[in-house]
A and B are shown apart, each in its own frame.
Chain A
Amino acid sequence: MSIPTEETEVIIVGLGAAGGIAVYPLTQAGIRIVALEAGPWRRNEEFPPDELTSWQFRNTLGPKFNREWPTWRESAGAPTVPAPASLGKMMNGVGGSTVHYGAWSRRFLPDDFRAHTSTLERYGEEAVPEDSTLADWPLSYDELEPYYDKVEKAIGVSGLACRVDGKPPRREGNPFEGRRSDEYPLPPLRDFAGGELFSAGAESLGYHPYKVPAAVTSREYDGRSACTYCGWNSGYGCRFGAKSSTLVSTIPKALESGLLDIRPLTRVTRVLTEGEKAVGVEYVIATGERRRLRGQLVILAAYTYEIVRLLLLSGSETFPKGLANSTGQVGKHFMTHQYLEVAGLFPGHAMNRFAGATPQAVCFDDLNADNFDHTGLGFIRGGTVGLENSLQPIGAANIVPPTLPVESGVEAFPIPRWGRAYKEFLLENWNSVTFLRAQPEPLSYHGNELDLDPVAREGGPLNLPRVRVTYSVRENERKMSAFLLERMEELMRSMGAKQIYRGPAFTGILSSHDVGGVRMGEDPDSSVVDRFGRAHQVEGLVVMSGATFPTCTGSNPTETIQALSWYASDQIVRELRPREATREEAEPLVGSSSRNGS
């Protein structure tokens, strides 16, 4: 029985942060695309502000993600269990998790792209942990800067820049940020109680707090309404189209070209190859029937775990260990954020966190990257420390007493979890608590990696293997977390909290900042793709995803995933439509990867 097969020019698997951006520059250059997305194509009106549906609870927007939940073991030989999650649930659908994310839209720091060299320069070889695989990125902040700018304007990001070329630095912005060619397209979101306390406390300790740039419209933009500050953001699609997901920004723009064919509820199961060339994909449609699609280029833009799984399941005679995996690098150098939390109680005060949403946030980079002297501290790198708005009802009941969900095994706090004492504390204090959260940068290590679980499967008719995460927190990160938690407690005191509660250092594996596994680099023996996401070993295969990140950094990944996707798309345009590329872009960049044949 032959499987129905079609042809197109470019195939994109996944229409989230990465694929949702790529469709825009590619269609602008006249490239024809079929985009296959496993989830549905929803409209804004289909997003109820229903707390139980959010990723914090049932995650009903991500049934595929829920079903294929990865397993986890601490090391080879340790017992394997379902991976614990901190903030880790992704969703499925056109727009991907940019539909329900918290919309922090930040650039990486220039130092983030050269953490290995930077560490060697400042602290010497001995400072790099022996078991780590720390490496520089194969591109610099300055090369990626124009693409951060394009993304911010195309989706609509609200913020206040510090270092704009040709202008004096702004005190209210982030003094650690890299130089920028232009301002943000929209002014920052409004002030809020927690932000004001954070800023005052942080400044008194000598830090440089700034408003987090948000992928939310602070004014009307591109025909979309401005945010109304309803307070329902992270965990929810935006009914008003104010959250700048790719669903409401770059995807509609790409559709205008007439060159984008979106196929929702379509599940790609395999990349098809002929020798060393990717020639298409095999997929399953909603009825369960199999189909094939052939194209000149296959772009994998699914989430980190799914891309690794697809590569490992797409092996062939030429690639017996999995597609693009002859050197065994697929799955290696996996990293995830262990969010650190410190809660503070401000008795008698009303924080009113429900009167605004997650993208209303403040943070500082003073303890991130190499922005402070690590001499004598026993660790390298650091993390963002920040505070965000937002409070929903069940969440309010769960944060008082300040704690993580009960399954996390956190040691007991002095207030009981049930009974009159709990109820009394809750009624008195539900509106008087706020949190600090840090994103400590984990290094990559030998032994922290992804592969296919030999036993666990997802169930259902396809019953594909689950991804297995092997991951343990190492000494560098333990010391970094201890240091950051102390600084956060100090900050909470300086903010005026009367009681302070510290969360655990290990918060889970699935974080929604799960990166690595398809490392980008120049050396094909220690990486899978080049800086344009092109697979070293496979012609016609590009990966656009946080899976390609060589380092995790101490910041949110989404805007960098998006910038890299646009950067990679411009390279695709140079290759497929050399006359469409601008005069500056027409010349191939020097030193692009050692791919076979080019």
Chain B
Amino acid sequence: MLSPREGAVLDAVVDRIFPSDDLGPGAREAGVVTYIDRSLAEWFADDLELFQACLIELDHSASERFGKPFANLEKEQQDQMMAEAERGAVQPGGLDLSRFFDKVVMRTREGMFCDPSYGGNRDKIGWRLLGMPGYQESFTEEEARLDASPRPRRPLALADIGFAPRNGHLSTRDSQEDDS
């Protein structure tokens, strides 16, 4: 849904929200942009225009202030602009980006840790980063105790337990199309 330019800005934005670093993989490895793009095509289609406008605003402001597209800025410059976006506008008289910021933080977390069939959490990388087991059929009483170490398990996703996404992707809208 997003243009290459918008996608490049989003890729940098989510990388700053959940960076790849010595602590482990981040939004880029997990495929968060793929997840967000799909969500904007489907269940968050109402947010598409907001995202497009705000991503372009970020890119435009980066060029004005630093002479480069947002994706090519130094990380510190990107973080500075992100902090401004979190609070409001990134250029005088510009769009208030705070509502977009709230949403892109939520979408990034979803894209890091959702079921891999949505395009994010690729190869369960988000779950493995935390050590969360995905879907398991059962846990023992001992494993639920304080400071217990649940036995290591291969994290299971929907595809592992026999749920294939319908029609190759999940349902398009979350409100009924016709009144049935």
B146 near A193: Cβ-Cβ < 8 Å: yes
Q: How far is the CA of A230 from the CA of B139 in the complex (A)?
A: 6
B139 near A418: Cβ-Cβ < 8 Å: no
Which chain B residues in 102-131 approach chain A with CB under 8 Å? 102, 105-106, 108-110, 112-115, 118, 121, 126-127, 129-131
B144 near A406: Cβ-Cβ < 8 Å: no
Contact among A232, A406, A422, A459 for B102, CB-based, below 8 A: A406
For residue A597, CB closer than 8 A to chain B, the reply is no
For residue B69, CB closer than 8 A to chain A, the reply is no
A396 near B130: Cβ-Cβ < 8 Å: yes
CB of B140 to closest CB in A, whole Å: 8
B144 near A192: Cβ-Cβ < 8 Å: yes
CB of B60 to closest CB in A, whole Å: 22
A284 near B112: Cβ-Cβ < 8 Å: no
**Which residue of A has the minimal Cβ distance to B106?**
A406
Q: How far is the CA of A526 from the CA of B94 in the complex (A)?
A: 54
Which of chain B's residues have a CB closer than 8 A to the CB of A59?
174
B138 near A230: Cβ-Cβ < 8 Å: yes
Which of chain A's residues have a CB closer than 8 A to the CB of B149?
350
Which of chain B's residues have a CB closer than 8 A to the CB of A50?
115, 158, 163
Contact among A58, A423, A462 for B19, CB-based, below 8 A: A423
CB of A307 to closest CB in B, whole Å: 18
A394 near B114: Cβ-Cβ < 8 Å: yes
For residue A407, CB closer than 8 A to chain B, the reply is yes
For residue A130, CB closer than 8 A to chain B, the reply is no
Which of chain B's residues have a CB closer than 8 A to the CB of A288?
178-180
B138 near A228: Cβ-Cβ < 8 Å: yes
B135 near A418: Cβ-Cβ < 8 Å: no
Interface of B is mostly: loop
Which chain A residues in 352-401 approach chain B with CB under 8 Å? 352, 354-356, 360, 389, 393-394, 396-398
**Which residue of A has the minimal Cβ distance to B132?**
A393
B175 near A405: Cβ-Cβ < 8 Å: no
A418 near B177: Cβ-Cβ < 8 Å: no
Which of chain A's residues have a CB closer than 8 A to the CB of B18?
418, 422-423
A232 near B179: Cβ-Cβ < 8 Å: no
A349 near B139: Cβ-Cβ < 8 Å: no
For residue B167, CB closer than 8 A to chain A, the reply is no
**Which residue of B has the minimal Cβ distance to A395?**
B113
Contact among B114, B118, B121, B137 for A230, CB-based, below 8 A: B137
B113 near A397: Cβ-Cβ < 8 Å: yes
Q: How far is the CA of A417 from the CA of B147 in the complex (A)?
A: 27
Question: How many A-B contacts at CB < 8 Å in the complex?
Answer: 171
Which of chain B's residues have a CB closer than 8 A to the CB of A51?
113-115
Size category of the binding interface on chain B: 35 or more
CB of A537 to closest CB in B, whole Å: 29
CB of A43 to closest CB in B, whole Å: 13
Q: How far is the CA of A58 from the CA of B38 in the complex (A)?
A: 14
Size category of the binding interface on chain A: 35 or more
For residue A351, CB closer than 8 A to chain B, the reply is yes
Contact among B16, B23, B115, B150 for A418, CB-based, below 8 A: B16
For residue B77, CB closer than 8 A to chain A, the reply is no
Which of chain A's residues have a CB closer than 8 A to the CB of B90?
none
CB of B26 to closest CB in A, whole Å: 7
Interface string of A404-443 (1 = CB under 8 A from B): 0111000000000111101110110011000000000000
A418 near B17: Cβ-Cβ < 8 Å: yes
CB of A45 to closest CB in B, whole Å: 9
**Which residue of B has the minimal Cβ distance to A192?**
B144
Which of chain A's residues have a CB closer than 8 A to the CB of B133?
354
A193 touching B144 in the complex, CB below 8 Å, given contacts A406-B106, A460-B177: yes
Which of chain B's residues have a CB closer than 8 A to the CB of A232?
135
**Which residue of A has the minimal Cβ distance to B117?**
A50
Interface string of B141-180 (1 = CB under 8 A from A): 1011111111000000010010100000011011111111
Which 5 A-B pairs rank lowest in CB-CB distance, beginning with the nearest? Answer: A67-B175, A393-B113, A355-B139, A286-B180, A193-B146
A-B contact pairs, 25 of them (CB 8 A): A49-B161, A50-B115, A58-B43, A63-B175, A64-B176, A67-B175, A190-B144, A193-B144, A196-B146, A284-B179, A284-B180, A286-B180, A349-B147, A350-B149, A354-B132, A393-B134, A396-B130, A406-B105, A417-B86, A418-B86, A420-B19, A427-B24, A427-B129, A460-B175, A462-B179
Which of A's residues lie within 8 Å of B, judged by CB? 48-53, 57-60, 63-64, 66-67, 190-193, 196-197, 228-232, 265, 267, 284-288, 349-352, 354-356, 360, 389, 393-394, 396-398, 405-407, 417-420, 422-424, 426-427, 430-431, 459-462
Given contacts A229-B140, A288-B178, A423-B23, 7 further A-B contacts (CB under 8 A): A52-B115, A190-B144, A267-B180, A351-B146, A356-B144, A406-B106, A430-B132
